[in-house]
Structure 1
Amino acid sequence: MSCHISYFYLPFKTAATVVLMLSSPEEEVLAKACDAIYKFASKGDENKVTLLGLGAVEPLYKLISHEDPIVRRNAVMVFGIMASNHDVRKLLREMDVTNSLISRLAPEEDVVIHEFATLCLAHMAAEYTSKLQIFEQGGLEPLIRLLGSPDPDVNKNSVECIYLLVQDFQSRAAVRELNVIPPLLELLKSEYPVIQLLALKTLEVISNDRETRVILTEHQGLDYLLKILETKEFSDLHVEALAVVGNCLEDVDTMQWIQRTGGLKKLLSFIGVSTVPDVQKNAAKAIAKAAYDSENRKILNEHEVEKCLINLLGNDNDGVKAAASQAISAMCENLASKRAFGPQGIPQLVQLLSSDNEEVKEAAVIALANLTAASPSNASAIAEAEGIEPLINTLSAERDGAIANAATVLTNMAMQEPFRLNILSHGIMSALVGPLRSTNSQVQSKAAFTVAAFGCDADARTELRNASGLGPLVELLHSKNEEVRRNACWAVMVCASDELTAVELCRLGALEILEEINLSTGHKNNFSEGALEKLLDNNLSQKYSQMGYLSSSNIITDGFYDCGQVKLHI
């Protein structure tokens, strides 16, 4: 029978016949049928679909647990190849084959069975339902054991499957308990780059958990990683190695260790000489992660990390520029760093505000917002770098984060009168009308706050009034967001400083909304009562109508009229 089967090509009718042979009681026939199907399926996806249509999967499923080792091996080989097809995987999930495949990972099984069972599981682990099945059926333990297999294909398939499984937090915790770190570190010594890369990718995911980072450090994992970074021949692995190091640097103990051993100096030097954008980007991300801790910021400042980040701002790659800007934002919490970035970093960040890349623009303006917080010298540096116009242009950027932070920078600069007047001359109040109309609460809040910062100037109030900006400002008094409501009240209080604006605000309904706010203990705030008082003091006809009296400080000028007292609602 077997002599009539071509191992390299099976016409449809012959394929159908061979599928029927999968039900034979003879072990030799079964083994040869599986072998022929394996070769047929290996030729392409179309053949896998053909076999699926011929009903080959169901009888093959029975054969992966067959008592004959050759039949079992050949059937598992077919599953390993077939599982690359989406429709086949769907059927395998429905049949819940993962349990049988996990059983094939036992130490006594043939290495070829290990290879193709792990290959099949790796294909299936790309989808959530199968991930869950593999985890719940105890697949992690044998997969971790097979990381130490002498066969590189088994190593590769096992680590790939684990990498896909640990995307889920349950598996991340489980692999830590199953002591996955030592075998993963051993795989970094593999002669096969694809295995090293998958090991690093897995370490990157699991080192997001602090407990895993501790274990990684205890097993000299950072030594392995730094050696990879120091070796030019491993340049293909530098991006992933840096990502793992970046996770580890979040912990102060690790940062102190890497500083003591000279690793931090090497790392920063490595970043300085690298010309690979992804390496530079991951390096900046590593610094940003580390900089969220105050002790880490201090250590990084001592190693003059600011120079390194400023250099990265001048990179041609947008991803590097954005990552460097984000790292600067994080480092700004350190006052010494904030001062260090000013002279050279601010002019470069200002240039990035004109970038065509919205992510770069947003990252740069966030960095400027952090740099100018409580720092008059950095605000001056922005003005000197001619940053006012690009900041005002950023108020109409595509990203809400860019708009909100541009408003913050301009507000920070307004603390100094010369800059405030300069900013006003660039038409900031007109530029704020768009952000006031935003549906994003952060943008609304920052825009209202900026109106309050600049509204003390009469010309600014006139500009806002003429640009139809008072309407959207009054609308923000209705906001359910406490911060938006408070800042809107503050802006109304400042803008109500002259009669024309106060009258217009009353016409737009600000008075009624403020009265409603002040009646509510939940909505009333530090500025709502002041805003109401200011509105009435600068609209005396309205005040007399509302209150029935005027204060001794209220001076009647031309235009005052008594429209009669408002009827009180009982």
Structure 2
Amino acid sequence: MQSDLDMASSSLSDHLHHLDLLIHSGVLHQSTAIVLSHPAPSSSKDDIILFIRDLFTRLQIGGAEFKTKALESLLQLLTDDEKSASLVSREGNVAYLIHLLDLHNQSLIREQAVAALSILVSLNDESRKTVFEEGGLGPLLKVLETGSNPLKEKAAIAVEALTTDPENAWAISAYNGVQVLLEACRSGSPATQPHAIGAIRNVAVVEDVRAVLAEEGAVPLLVQLLSSSAAAATREEAAGCIAILAASGDEFRDSIINERGLQRLMSLIHDSPSSDALESALRAISSLSRVDSVNRILSSSTVFIVQLGELIKHGSLILQQVASSLLADISITDGNKRAIAGCMSSLVRLMESPKPVGLQDSASRALVSLLSVRSNRKEFVRDEKSLTRLVQMLDSRNEAVPKKLPVAVVAAVAASGGDGCRRRLVAAGACQHMQKLAEMEVGGARKAAQRLAGSKLKTIFSRTWRE
């Protein structure tokens, strides 16, 4: 009798709980049926909210079949209408959706719940914040650690999205997340690896997490994933992660170099058609170039220098900026400077572009470096378009370009460039602008103006003597 009474009491408690859910959801206040049809694209916000509340009510009170159909509806809603993500995070019971990730739930329900969460956190900041605050990171990492390959892929997508927020990144250590992510990189499927590495890249900005990455041997694994045998997406993400680690300190730079990471990165630049992969590889190499031995290797590699020249001529603005900055920072041999003289006109054009920030400075420094070679100076002044652009940048009325940059280029051309180079600058109208900039006390302008004026006087004296 006591056992029967306990069972009846438990059943009544479940019914009361379900009725409470129905009452608080608000769906009983509508004249329509509890099971609502999928909202049309033209549906009002109120209709969508009612559908979401009804959906989560069915998700919580139904059996396995009811839950499956509710999750199917949720997935369809999130897929068809991305704007609904915010409403789902506000009006739905996200905590219960996370609860469905539990190992005790049916595999199909668990898979649908992971899929719904991965879509939800990928759509906007509000949804990511809700899932994180409801405790979604730990269960998703558990799925990534123990789930099947399809589940791991979706969980990795969700973890990567959650960790894009720096405020969430620190929490990865609380769930032993670094080790889980590294294992997913090591043994995960080609579909899972890029997202696991992407999550590591996101959390690598946290100093404490970087310490764990060093202890767990992240660098050898990431360098290994740069191999040409890895999938293109995996190589791209690995390069991005290595770029962050290489910029964070000597310990990581030394480790990357010891694992032959430089050679892998240089191969990636040669092989990859992806702009993002090229950018990450260049940024990583730029950080490694602070080490003298790496600087010497890069300086003497004609193939690599020529690749930089091609990226400056034909790459995106971001690639042009990173390539020109790297070109300016390494000690290039005169022979290699002559080999890429053809990119000087591109560097002049880049000096006119105020965005992205730093591009003008990188381009001018790279150009000054190339102009240290006499033959390059002569070639530069023979390019009338580049010379005209340079003189226009010297005009004090041109506010788009900081004047110290073209002044540095003029000084480089005028320095031991021969009277021919200086005469061409004077003939193009550089002298009057330089005098004006000298009066404005622009750095380096007075000295450069004196050199140009000296050339002008020599021309006058020479003409007088001939006459």
Do they superpose with TM above 0.5? yes
- The answer to whether the 8 Å contact 2:289/2:295 transfers is yes
CA–CA distance in structure 1, aligned partners of residues 352 and 171 of structure 2: 40
Mapped partners of 1:123, 1:241: distance in 2: 23
Distance across 1 between alignment mates of 2:153 and 2:426: 60
Query: Structure 1 residues 228 and 358, CA, compared in 2 at 3 Å: closer, same or farther?
Result: same
The aligned amino acid for 1:97 is I
1:332 aligns with 2:286: no
SS at match of 1:235: coil
Match of 1:288 in 2: 243
Cα distance in 1 for residues equivalent to 2:112 and 2:178: 22
Contact persistence 1:118–1:157 (CA under 8 A)? no
Contact 2:163/2:169 (CA < 8 Å) preserved in 1?
yes
Give the 5 Å matches for 1:336-375: 337-344=294-301, 347-354=303-310, 358-359=314-315, 363=319, 366-370=322-326, 372-373=328-329
Call closer, same or farther: CA 1:236–1:132 in 2, change over 3 Å.
closer
Equivalences for residues 109-188 of structure 1 within 5 A: 109=62, 110-123=66-79, 126-127=82-83, 130-137=84-91, 139-148=93-102, 149-150=105-106, 152=108, 155-156=111-112, 159-161=115-117, 163-165=119-121, 167-188=123-144
Q: Of the candidates 423, 429, 444, which is equivalent to residue 462 of structure 1?
A: 423
Letter matched to residue 272 of structure 1? S
Task: State the alpha-carbon separation in 1 of the partners of residues 33 and 112 from structure 2.
Answer: 24
2:164, 2:402 → 1: CA distance? 31
Q: Aligned partners of 1:442 and 1:398: how far apart in 2?
A: 7
Tell me, yes or no, if the aligned pair for 1:102 and 1:142 is still in contact at 8 Å. Answer: no
Question: Cα gap change, 1:340/1:437 in structure 2, threshold over 3 Å: closer, same or farther?
Answer: same
* 1:262-320 alpha-carbon deviations (Å, 9 max, x no partner): 33212212322434322222221111122332254344344442222122222152434
Structure 2 Cα separation of the partners of residues 357 and 455 of structure 1: 25
Residue aligning to 2:43: 91
Spell out the pairing of 1:514-525 with structure 2 (5 A cutoff). none
Structure 2 residue aligned with 1:491, among 430, 445, 451?
Answer: 445
Unaligned runs of 5+ in 1: 1-62, 479-484, 504-537, 539-557, 559-570
Read off the aligned partner of 2:128 and give its amino acid letter. R
Separation in 2, partners of 1:301, 1:383 = 24
Q: Partners of 1:306 and 1:240 in 2: how far apart?
A: 23
Rounded Cα–Cα distance in structure 2 between residues aligned with 1:472 and 1:156: 68
* Residues 131-189 of structure 1: CA deviation (Å, up to 9, x unaligned): 44334436533333334453535643664455444553344344333221222123334
Distance 2:47 2:347 in 1: 56
> Equivalents in 1 of 2:137, 2:79: separation in Å?
23
Name the structure 1 match of 2:234.
279
**Residues 1:362 and 1:467: Cα distance change in structure 2 (over 3 Å):** farther
Measured in 1, the distance between the counterparts of 2:298 and 2:366 equals 16
Indicate the residue corresponding to 1:447 in structure 2.
406
Provide closer, same or farther for how the CA distance between residues 91 and 491 of structure 1 changes in structure 2, counting only shifts above 3 A.
farther
Once the 2 structures are TM-superposed, how far is the Cα of residue 111 of structure 1 from its aligned partner? Answer: 0.9
Flag the structure with larger Rg.
Answer: 1
Structure 2: unaligned runs, 5 residues or longer: 1-24, 459-463
Q: Does 1:425 align with 2:378?
A: yes
State the SS of the aligned residue for 2:61.
coil
Residue of structure 2 in register with 1:207 after alignment: 163
CA distances 1:346-396 after superposition (whole Å, capped 9, x unpaired): 6313234235983368636634533543x5xx2326636722333445434
Residues 202/440 of structure 1: CA separation in 2 closer, same or farther (3 Å cut) = farther
- Tell me how far 1:209 sits from its aligned partner: 3.3
- Counterpart of 1:58 in structure 2 is none
Contact 1:433 1:472 in 2 (8 A): no
Name the amino acid aligned to 1:143. Answer: L
Letter paired with 1:422: S
Partner amino acid for 2:222? L
Of structures 1 and 2, the one scoring higher in RCO (CA 8 A, sep 6+) is 2
Distance 1:283 1:399 in 2: 34
Structure 1 pair 253/362, CA: closer, same or farther in 2 (3 Å)? Answer: same
The 1-side partners of 2:123 and 2:391 are apart by 40
Query: Distance between the aligned counterparts of 1:440 and 1:115, measured in 2?
Result: 58
Is the Cα–Cα contact under 8 Å of residues 78 and 120 in structure 2 kept in the other structure?
yes
* CA distance in 2: counterparts of 1:413 and 1:304, whole angstroms: 29
Does the 8 Å CA contact 2:434/2:448 hold for their aligned counterparts? Answer: no
Residue identity (%) = 15
Distance 1:365 1:371 in 2: 10
* Cα distance, 1:213–1:381 mapped onto 2, change above 3 Å: farther
Equivalent position of 1:249 in the other structure: 204
Tell me which residue corresponds to 2:365.
408
Q: Letter of the aligned partner of 2:43 in structure 1?
A: L
Aligned CA-pair RMSD: 4.2
Decide whether the 8 Å contact of 2:34 with 2:54 is kept in 1: no
Distance in 1 (alpha carbons) for counterparts of 2:124 and 2:257 = 36
Q: Deviations over 1:210-257 (max 9, x none)?
A: 44333223323333333333337x122222222222223333443343
The separation in 2 between residues aligned to 1:260 and 1:396, in whole angstroms, is: 46
Residue by residue over 1:390-426, the C-alpha shift from the partner in whole angstroms, topping out at 9 and shown as x without a partner, is 3445434699467753431122355xxxx34232111
Distance in 2, Cα, partners of 1:340 & 1:411: 21
Structure 1 match to 2:16: none
Structure-2 separation of matches of 1:453 and 1:502: 17
For 1:307 and 1:328, the matched residues in 2 are separated by 10
Change in CA separation of 1:91 and 1:385 when aligned onto 2, cut-off 3 Å: same
TM-superposed CA distance for 1:89, in Å, is 3.4
Q: How far apart are the structure 1 equivalents of 2:208 and 2:271? A: 31
Segment drifting more, 264-273 vs 155-164:
155-164
**Does the aligned pair in 2 maintain the 1:437–1:472 contact within 8 Å?**
no
Alignment correspondent of 2:336: 383
CA–CA distance in 1 between the matches of 2:81 and 2:113? 11
**Cα distance change of structure 1 residues 398 and 159 upon mapping to structure 2, 3 Å threshold:** farther
| Greater Cα shift, 171-180 or 429-438 | 429-438
Q: Could you tell me whether the CA contact under 8 Å between 1:284 and 1:327 is conserved in 2? A: yes
* Bigger mean CA offset, 454-463 vs 306-315: 454-463
Q: In structure 2, do the counterparts of structure 1 residues 176 and 349 end up closer, same or farther at CA, with 3 Å as the change threshold?
A: farther
Moved more, 209-218 or 162-171: 162-171
